[in-house]
Amino acid sequence: MIDSHDITSMQADIDSVIADDAVSITIRRDSQNLSAQTVRLVKPGPSNPRQMRSDAGKEVAADIIVLGDLTLDIKKGDKFIYQSLLHEVIWIDPGQDIAIEAEAVIRG
């Protein structure tokens, strides 16, 4: 059974993973820019297969995975710029005990 010590240890591991290749993104929600937040952005690959998600009635696969600690303020529909490309969040992992994980697609 997982106890609070295990959760604390897993959160520390996630913090290390994020810090290993951290980037700062500024999320735009509706007409408001949120404060910059530190995340790790990962392109799906063999170890992170692209999952098909429903986006406005169409099946799409994420272009990037957003990984943040439990303080990450991110919601479906949020937008951010990364590598000069606009990304939109299409999915948030509902199991948020250790970290926040979201998926985004390139919109422009």
Domain containing 45 equals 4-106
Q: What CATH number should be reported for the domain holding residue 57?
A: 2.40.10
Residue 74 confidence (pLDDT): 97
What CA–CA distances, in Å, run from 83 to 11, 54, 73?
27, 25, 21
- In degrees rounded to 5, what are phi and psi of residue 50? -75, 125
3-class SS of residue 30? coil
Predicted local confidence at residue 95, as pLDDT: 80
Average pLDDT for consecutive 10-residue bins of the chain (108 residues)? 87 90 96 97 73 65 91 96 94 88 90
The pLDDT of residue 61 is 77
Contacts of 59 (CB under 8 A, 6+ apart): 52, 53
Radius of gyration of the chain (CA): 14
How many CB atoms neighbour CB 16 within 10 A? 9
- pTM, 2 dp: 0.84
pLDDT, position 52: 60
Instruction: Specify the number of domains making up the chain.
Output: 1
pLDDT of residue 62: 81
Rounded Cα distance, 52 and 44, in Å: 12
What pLDDT is attached to residue 105? 92
pLDDT at position 54 is 62
